[in-house]
Amino acid sequence: MSIQDKIKEIEEEIQNTPNNKMSQHHIGKLKAKLANLRMQVAAGKGSSKGAASLGYSLKKSGDATVVLVGFPSVGKSTLLNALSGEEISPVAAYEFTTLTVIPAMLLYRGVRIQILDVPGLVAGAASGKGRGKEVLAVLRNAELLLIMGDALKLPQIESIKKELYDAGIRMNEIPPRVTVEKKIKGGIYISKQPGCQLSDNEIKSVLNEFGYHSADVTVKQDITVDQLIDHVAGNRKYVKTLFVVNKVDLLKNKKSLPADYIQVSAEEGAGLDNLKEQIYQKLGFIRIYLKPPGREPDFVNPLILPGDATVLNVCNKLHKDFKSKFRWALVTGKSVKFNGQRVGIDHKLLDEDIITVVVRE
């Protein structure tokens, strides 16, 4: 029996097993086995074609990378051209127009956002169909995914969600607060936060399936068996995601769309301003304006930093020696009580703060 046959068999067993307290241990064990098999597929095992071919080679640029994900002919290329303001990606009224990764740059609010148009996903991409492994490798390196669906074919989005989930990509999730420290002997010791619904037997069955027979386990939140498997598997990628519905101009009742789906018509240019703003907000960047001592702030070329940035991040961006030579910083903006407030290197910054870094000579 091939690995794919085993995966199908376990999926059917999970689907046909009633989900209740008595069956939770068994289902957890099946899910762990399923995760193990999918990891083997991702590693190229069980394929008659041998090792997987090399992925796409593309240099990341800009302040963040966003990848357009969708089935063929959903309008990714049209949207890429519309967002960048240039005709970079070829557009045609038939499937599989994009055969490689095509980059473009979106400039918005001083942020340079690299947008990648990858070949359309097909059913079975997580198992390598349609160059799925190469496409998924690009997705795993993105800061943000734009999952696109056709307004007249909304089930496409749910199909893509499943493909990405099967490939170990977790959309809009955060890693569970769990630690597993392997030991040579002594069995499995479990420490759980009060209220955690997972039983010790469920935890042990998952760990055993992944080869853990002695370990110290600390569960710091209420988690599901799927989250535990994700942690133990260790190859999950947690990526911010937006869901975009294209061709809404063809819909008669736009109110029927889910509230969290961003509505656009790439062909007509409708909804693009809102999409750009949503991309910017989801990436969570802040703009920091630099003010050299004795000079005016530079409002033209802001420093782009992650939303949780501190003065230390500014120092690291400016020069490798600024951290060791740091004395203090003067900050004006929303993160301080008054203009020109002196702060330390751990001070948390907010969007559009103005900063002067003072270092030793």
Domain co-membership, 104 together with 244: yes
- Asked if the structure places residue 56 within a domain, the reply is no
pLDDT tens profile 5-36: 777 787 777 777 877 766 776 777 777 777 77
**The tokens of 69 are what?**
């994900």
- Asked if the structure places residue 226 within a domain, the reply is yes
Q: Which residues share a beta bridge with 179?
A: 218
Domain co-membership, 217 together with 252: no
Domain co-membership, 100 together with 40: no
Structure confidence at residue 122 (pLDDT): 66
pTM across the whole model: 0.79
pLDDT tens profile 57-88: 567 788 999 999 988 888 888 999 999 887 66
CATH number of domain containing 313: 3.10.20.30
Domain co-membership, 184 together with 304: no
207: containing domain: 3-49+176-233
pLDDT tens profile 235-282: 899 999 999 999 998 888 777 788 899 999 999 999 999 999 999 999
Decide if 63 contacts 50 (C-beta within 8 A).
Answer: no
Domain co-membership, 300 together with 258: no
Biggest CA-to-CA distance, the chain = 74
Domain co-membership, 164 together with 266: yes
Domain co-membership, 144 together with 277: yes
Q: How far is CA 227 from CA 1, 2, 221, 252, 305, in A?
A: 28, 27, 11, 40, 30
| Percentage, residues of the chain above pLDDT 70 | 87
Domain co-membership, 320 together with 290: yes
The DSSP annotation for 34-77 comes to HHHHHHHHHTTTT-TT-SPPP-------SSEEEEEE-STTSSHH
Query: For the chain, give me the number of helices (H) and strands (E)?
Result: 10, 15
Our count of domains for the chain comes to 3
Instruction: Report the amino acid identity of residue 23.
Output: S
For residues 99 and 119, give the distance between their C-alpha atoms in angstroms, rounded to a whole number.
5
**The tokens of 46 are what?**
């069980």
**The tokens of 48 are what?**
């008659």
**The tokens of 29 are what?**
């064990």
Structure confidence at residue 114 (pLDDT): 92
Instruction: Report the amino acid identity of residue 335.
Output: S
Residues 6+ apart with CB under 8 A from 343: 311, 328, 329, 330, 331, 336
